[in-house]
Structure 1
Amino acid sequence: MDRINNQNLESNPDLKNKIKEAIAELKRGSSDFIGIEYIESLIMRYYQSGQRFIVKAGFDPTAPDLHLGHTVLIQKLATFQRYGGDVKFLIGDFTATIGDPSGKNETRKQLTLKEVEKNAQTYKDQVFKILDPRYTEVCFNSTWINKLGVGGLVDLTSKFSVARMLERDDFEKRYKENRPISIIEFMYPLLQGYDSVVLNADIELGGNDQKFNLLVGRTLQRAYGLEKEQSVLTVPLLEGLDGVNKMSKSLGNYIGVTEKPHLMYAKILSISDDLMWKYYDLLSVKTIPQIQDLKNNVKENKLHPKIVKEELALEITTKYYNLEIALEAKKEFESVFSKDEIPSDIPKMDFKEGIWICELLKLANLCPSTSQARRDIQGGGVKINKQKIINENYKFELGEYIIQIGKRKFIKAVIK
């Protein structure tokens, strides 16, 4: 901030404290915070004059549904909205057809336009569970990239060197290993940076694997003559239910934003006590002092970690539904897992008489393979009508059966 702004702060301790609190909340759980002085000046201007600023984050609609790992970034956008940020929620409907190579060791499969459009619509439906619609504009980068034309693209590529592009870790690794890097992959960070130019972004947010791309945006804003250089904030990847790998649908360790409430509540309670605190930092709306109080109470044995985790599960489930539904989910969890009862809402599937249990478990998506189904049976993790089954060669006769694996997976099988 310039000298006048600093003088204003020194003469206004209340304003100084407000900005300090805002920065602490924005830094909470973040990985990189580049250009913090510019962010401070924007927040101060907002408090003094009400003038808002532009915060950008891009999402490639590569999958139809969001999970809690995606919402870490959206939560941070919502925090910026509280301190004067107008969010440009950018859906990369053009760049998604290229595929972002960040963190990848090989070229990514490109999506069709139809797939992108379908996934983009589900994103729009889901983000307003977190963001304030009054201060959010959903944008599609095809709007301006389609207008660039060949001349515009050539001009864009002239503003960044191949040497700079190869500084990115994944490109450098693949280049040294003589693995293919397509020219179109070089275009992805350039087009993402060009989005920042068009949107006149003051701040851009992304995952910590996106840092290079976000810095390209700063370079291009200078190259195109903007009288600003966007600040950059990155957030860490959120580990999934296994506590090891990042949350991912392909790994099955995710909690979906559209998950049924009783499953959402139960899945949150299944995370480890240590991971719980990271979920609090990245997903909860509780303030830093409130979370610290919870940590202190657990450390001093004034609160059991399970109680604190239940509070987190209730908060997150309420966010995506409402308090009444969340309390029902809590009640059902206690009924199912404490009293060994059956959930009230479980999927129903039809199968043919004589089907092998391992095949049924695979077809019902309760197990990824028949081999895993065998292991689950051998480990005592499979129940039929509340009774453990140990016969891995079991075949079903006519009738209806409630099949359970572990504490959260249920299905009603109708054998015809």
Structure 2
Amino acid sequence: MTETRAAQLLWEGLQEIAVEIHSAEHLQTRLWRGDRLKVKLGLDPTAPDLHLGHTIQLGALRAFQDAGHTAVLIVGDYTAQIGDPSGRSETRPMLTAEQVVVNAQTYLEQAGRILDLERAEVHGNAEWLGRMTAADVLRLLGTQTLQSVLQREDFSHRLQSGAAIGAHEILYPFSQGYDSVAVRADVEIGGSDQLFNLLFGREVQRAYGQPPQDVMIFPLLVGPDGRRMSKSLGNYIGVAAPAPEIYGKVMSLPDTLIEQYLRLVSGLAPDEITAALRLPARDAKAALARAVVTRLAGQEPAAAAERDFEAKFRSRNLDETEIPLLQVRAGTTVAAALVAAGLYGSLSQVRRLAEQGGLSLNGEKVASDHLVEDGGMVKAGKRNFVRLSVG
């Protein structure tokens, strides 16, 4: 395959899922010309787990890597202590350096399930941000105006509502922007909630005499409950979760999310996605679950997870359409759902059942106060099954 053809395939694949590309013509020209680019992705370890939504950006970074470009992964061990204000209606609690170290311990292993770390450039941004003097910080802050920071949507909403904006939060886009200066990024990848930060980084680079990075923005993955997948919302599928748990959670997704997940996080080729979408919804979801687990854990764990799932549900010849479908509100506990379905007379009955290991959601044992998941299958005791629809 010629370099031009490889560049064309890379561009077409990324353009298919990107929601915004800033300086698209400039980036396309550089790819067609055969330039070797430094492509940056930053991840803040605000919690120990990466989730399936992160694999969208990691997958894009891997695509650049496989096309011969340099993948630069920034673990935000310094910026995580500040807290990204993107999409926040209130100030994030500040993390200590010790908390960030604990959270970051597993990040590389998890990122390495998608990215080839041996061929990647990996940094913690404390390497440069942690060594800045007061004079360095003043110079960085002097590159932009306060108005340019406050115009971001989340800050303007807080100003209008009277909600507090921490002075330290102003530092976040400057710090992330300086990451691009430190590694001399040609391209930065991020989710749609990162648009302001990534464009701000272009201006910081200009102020330091560097060409501004091109920016590729990718969609945020929707969680099982219909909201964006997020560690803070607790509606995520963890990259490092056990294979049976990942498989079961994917199988519990609403049918309306199958196509989005196939296109964004399955790792399947376009023709394989097209073939999967022609299948009945149940079979398409199984193909999706198998692909996701294979991508994150390997073929053998995926096959074992599929067998385990089939043994728990299909060995009883259960037809899901014959299992009662219960409409519940978000935030409802499994116990409350079972009582509402009339299967149990009280919450205490369900609690005792759970304590005896007789309550499961999507094949995983849960406590009675576990929150419901849209599309989830609850098994209570040996014979009671309920499908959940959260709305």
TM bucket, shorter chain:
0.7 to 0.9
SS at match of 1:339: helix
Residues 90-130 of structure 1 deviation map (CA, whole Å, 9 limit, x = unaligned): 01111111111111112111000001011111101211111
The answer to whether the aligner puts 1:44 opposite 2:26 as a matched pair is no
Structure 2 counterparts to residues 87-166 of structure 1, below 5 A = 87-166=71-150
Task: State the shift of 1:246 in Å.
Answer: 1.2
Indicate whether 1:73 and 2:57 are aligned: yes
In 1, Cα distance between equivalents of 2:66 and 2:184: 20
Partners of 1:214 and 1:236 in 2: how far apart? 14
**Contact 1:26 / 1:76 at 8 angstroms: preserved in 2?**
yes
- Match among 189, 199, 218 for residue 235 of structure 1: 218
Residue 249 of structure 1: how far off its partner (Å): 4.0
Q: Which residue of 1 aligns with 2:289?
A: 313
Q: Secondary structure at the match of 1:189?
A: helix
TM-score normalised by the chain length of structure 1: 0.78
* 1:53-72 map, 5 Å: 53-72=37-56
Deviation at residue 27 of structure 1 after TM alignment: 1.6
Aligned counterpart, 2:270: 288
Matches within 5 A, 1:178-327: 178-226=162-210, 228-242=211-225, 244-295=226-277, 298=278, 303-327=279-303
TM-score under structure 2 length normalisation: 0.83
SS at match of 1:234: strand
Contact in 1 for aligned 2:52/2:236 (Cα 8 Å): yes
Counterpart among 309, 334, 340 of residue 333 in structure 1: 309
Alpha-carbon offset, residue 374 of structure 1: 4.5
Question: Alpha-carbon deviations, 1:269-288, whole Å to 9, x = none?
Answer: 11122211111111122233
By how many angstroms is 1:326 displaced?
1.0
Return the offset for 1:330.
0.6
Q: Which amino acid letter does the alignment assign opposite residue 174 of structure 2?
A: L
Paired with 1:56 and 1:271, the residues of 2 have a C-alpha distance of 31
Post-superposition CA distance 1:317-376 (Å, at most 9, x none) = 1122221221111111111011249xxxxxxxxxxxxxxxxxxxxxxxxxx99x835413
**2:383 is the alignment partner of 1:401:** no
Amino acid of the residue matched to residue 19 of structure 2?
A: S
Q: What is the SS of the residue equivalent to 2:302? A: helix
How far the C-alpha of 1:144 sits from its partner, in A, is 0.8
CA distance in 2, matches of 1:251, 1:16: 43
Aligned pair count reads 355
Equivalent pair of 2:266/2:295 in contact (CA under 8 Å): no
Distance 1:137 1:33 in 2: 23
Indicate how the Cα distance of structure 1 residues 224 and 412 shifts in structure 2: closer, same or farther if over 3 A, else same: closer
Q: 1:126 to 1:373 in 2, by over 3 A?
A: closer
Please, which runs of 5 or more residues in structure 1 have no aligned partner? Answer: 1-12, 342-367, 382-387
Matches of 1:97 and 1:42, distance apart in 2: 35
Change in 2 beyond 3 A, CA 1:106/1:76: same
Q: Hey, what does 1:376 align to over in structure 2?
A: 337
Matches of 2:287 and 2:251, distance apart in 1 = 10
How far apart, CA to CA, are the structure 1 residues paired with 2:160 and 2:351? Answer: 55
Q: Distance in 2 between matches of 1:19 and 1:86?
A: 14
Q: Shift of the alpha carbon at 1:15? A: 5.5
**Is the Cα–Cα contact under 8 Å of residues 44 and 79 in structure 2 kept in the other structure?**
yes
Output the CA distance in 2 between the equivalents of 1:322 and 1:313: 12
| Matched-pair contact (CA < 8 Å) for 1:54–1:203 | yes
Q: Distance in 2 between matches of 1:284 and 1:395?
A: 36
The whole-number CA distance in structure 1 between the counterparts of 2:100 and 2:252 is 33
Alpha carbons 2:351, 2:367 under 8 Å: kept: no
Q: CA 1:225/1:336 → structure 2, altered by over 3 Å: closer, same or farther?
A: same
Relative to structure 1, is the Cα distance of residues 412 and 203 closer, same or farther in structure 2, using a 3 angstrom cutoff? closer
2:335 and 2:351 in contact (8 A); partners too: no
| Distance in 2 of aligned mates of 1:245 and 1:58 | 23
| Paired residues of 1:69 and 1:238 also in contact (CA < 8 A) | yes
Contact map agreement 2:247 2:293 (CA 8 A) in 1: yes
- For residues 200-224 of structure 1, give each alpha carbon's deviation from its aligned partner in whole angstroms, at most 9, with x where no partner exists: 0000011111111101111111111
Alpha-carbon separation, structure 2, partners of 1:102 and 1:209: 6
- The alignment partner of 1:89 has SS state of strand
Q: Which has the larger radius of gyration?
A: 1
8 A contact 1:56–1:203 mirrored in 2: yes
Change (3 A) 1:250 1:174: closer
Contact 1:29 1:235 (8 Å CA) reproduced: yes
Give the conservation status (yes or no) of the 8 Å contact 2:39–2:188.
yes
Contact 2:335 2:350 in 1 (8 A): no
Percent identity (aligned)? 36
Alpha-carbon distance in structure 2 between the residues aligned to 1:42 and 1:35: 11
Alpha-carbon separation, structure 1, partners of 2:296 and 2:352: 41
Letter in 2 for 1:402: G
Structure-2 change in CA distance of 1:181 and 1:330 (3 Å): same
- C-alpha separation in 2, matches of 1:412 and 1:391: 15
For 2:351 and 2:103, the matched residues in 1 are separated by: 39
Q: Which letter does structure 2 place at the counterpart of 1:66?
A: L
The match for 1:28 among 16, 27, 30 is 16
